[in-house]
Amino acid sequence: MNTATTLPEAKKIGMVSLGCPKALVDSERILTRLRADGYAMSPDYAGADVVLVNTCGFLDSAKEESLQAIGEAIAENGRVIVTGCMGEEADAIRAAHPQVLAVTGAHQYEQVVEAVHTHAPPSQGPFVDLIPQPSDTDIKLTPRHYSYLKISEGCNHSCAFCIIPDLRGKLASRRIDAVLREAEKLVAAGTKELLVISQDTSAYGVDTRHEPRDWKGREVRAHMTDMARELGQLRTPEGETPWTRLHYVYPYPHVDAVIPLMAEGLLTPYLDIPFQHASPKVLKAMKRPANEAKVLERLKSWREICPEIAIRSSFVVGFPGETEDDFRYLLDWLEEAQLDRVGAFRFEPVEGAQANALPDHVPEEIKEERFARVMEVTERISAAKLKAKVGKVIQVIVDEVGEPDEDGDIGATARSQADAPEIDGAVYLRNVATTLKAGDFVDVTVEDADAHDLFGVPA
C-alpha cells in the first residue's frame, strides 16, 4: 500500500519597503533569494510568519516613518526583522522597538536571509517542484512593464547635507556584463521601460577604473556612455525599443556623449540631474560643484541636439547660510534653465550630516515662504511647457487601464517620455480601446494640460 507524504506548507514572508527606488531593488533581491530557499510571499501581515521592514534613514522624517512602520508591523504581526539604511542605527531601533527579532544594514542580503532562516526556518526546500513554474523568475515589486536597474552602490561625494556614504559606503560599481545581462533578462521577461538608478550614475565604473568585460563578442567598459550605448541596442520580444531612463546623473563632461543617443531614439530623452541649488556660495557650502553658468550653456546645447529632451531636477531651499540674494539667484537661474520637471525640498537636518554644524540656519517660516515661491516659479514653467504640447501627437506608455463608465468609455493612465513613474506627471487618456493593456506603447493626441499632467485620446 502506497502512502502519500504531505509536504509542509511553505513559510510566508511579508515585506514593507520604504525609501528610494534603490531600496526597492534591495527588497526585490531579498525576496528573490528567500523564494529560492522555499519561502512564499504574504500580501498581508496576518498571513506572514515573519515581516521584513526595509527602512530609509536619509532624513529624520524618513527615520520617523521607518520607526512607525516597524511599530505597525509589530502591532499587526509581532515577528519583525529590520533591514535597510536605518539598520545602521540598530540601537535607536531597539530602543524604540525592543521586540524586533534582528536588525541588519543596507544591502546586507546574506545577513537578512540568515536572520529569516533563524527566526522562521524554511519548511521545505527550493526544489520541491520538479518542473519549474512559469513565475519562477526574480520577484518584482514594480508593475511588470517597468523595472529599476541598479548599476552601483554607494557614493564618493561628501555633500554637507547627506549621509549616504555613511549608510551605503563608497562607490561600488557592478560589472558591466552583469548589468547588461540583467537588463536583457528584464526586457525578455516583459519590461518595456528600464530605469537606471544609483547614487551617482555618471560615476559608474570609476572605482573599477572602467574595467572592460566581454559582451556578445566585443569589449565593453564599465562606463556610463558604453552602458547607455549597449542598453540602446535592446529590443523587446515584439521588436520594440524599450524606454531607458537615466536617473541621478551628475553633469560631468561625458554626459554630453549620451545626448546623441537620445536624438537617435536609442535612449529616452530624459535626464534626472541633482542640481540641488544654483548660487555658487550655497553650492560651495553644500560641498557640490559650482558650475551653474556652464551648465546653462550645456542645457542649451543638449536641446539643440535633442529638442525633445526633458530635464528633471531637485533643489533644496533654506540651506544654512542661504540669503535672500542666494534664493533670488536660484529663481533667476530656474527662469533661464527652463527645466521640465522640478522637485523642491526644505532643508532638514540629518543626524551625522556636516551641514548641521554650519552657522546661520534659516528659520522655518522663511523656508516655507521660499518653498512656496520656488514651486510657483517651477509650476508656471511646467504649465507653459505642457500647454505647448496641446494638439501634438506623442508616444506614451500605459500604466493602468480603467473600467468602462456608464457610457462604455474606458480611460487609462499613461506617461510620456518626460514622465518617470512615481515622481513626475501623467497622461490621462479617454476613449481607449478595450484591447489596451498596461505596458502598451501608444500614440496619443494631447487635448489639454495643467501644471503637471496631460490629457488626451489615442491618435
**pLDDT at site 43:** 86
Grid cell listed for 125: 526546500
pLDDT in tens, 250-285: 998 999 999 999 999 999 999 999 999 999 999 999
- Domain residue spans in the chain? 12-119, 146-387, 393-458
Q: Are 310 and 454 in contact (CB under 8 A)?
A: no
Given pLDDT bands bounded at 50, 70 and 90, which one contains residue 138?
A: low
pLDDT above 90 covers a percentage of the chain that reads 65
In whole numbers, what is the pLDDT of the chain averaged over residues? 89
Grid cell listed for 149: 536597474
**pLDDT at site 206:** 95
Which CATH number, 3.10.50.40, 3.40.50.12160, 3.90.25.10, 2.40.50.250, labels domain 12-119? 3.40.50.12160
Instruction: Give burial (CB, 10 Å; 0-12/13-18/19+) of 9.
Output: exposed
Q: Which CATH superfamily is domain 393-458 in?
A: Nucleic acid-binding proteins (2.40.50.140)
Q: What is the mean pLDDT of residues 291-317?
A: 91
CA 92 to chain centre: 27
Task: Indicate the annotated binding residues.
Answer: 20, 56, 85, 155, 159, 162
Q: What is the mean pLDDT of residues 29-48?
A: 85
Given pLDDT bands bounded at 50, 70 and 90, which one contains residue 293?
A: low
**pLDDT at site 133:** 37
The dihedral over CA atoms of 64, 346, 198, 211, expressed in degrees to the nearest 10, equals -130
pLDDT in tens, 65-94: 999 999 999 999 989 999 988 888 889 999
Q: Do domains 146-387 and 393-458 have the same CATH topology?
A: no
Which CATH number, 3.40.50.300, 3.30.70.250, 3.30.70.20, 3.80.30.20, labels domain 146-387? 3.80.30.20
Q: What is the mean pLDDT of residues 353-357?
A: 82
Q: Which helix (H) or strand (E) holds 368?
A: helix 364-387
Q: What is the mean pLDDT of residues 177-186?
A: 95
Task: Indicate the annotated binding residues for [4Fe-4S] cluster.
Answer: 20, 56, 85, 155, 159, 162
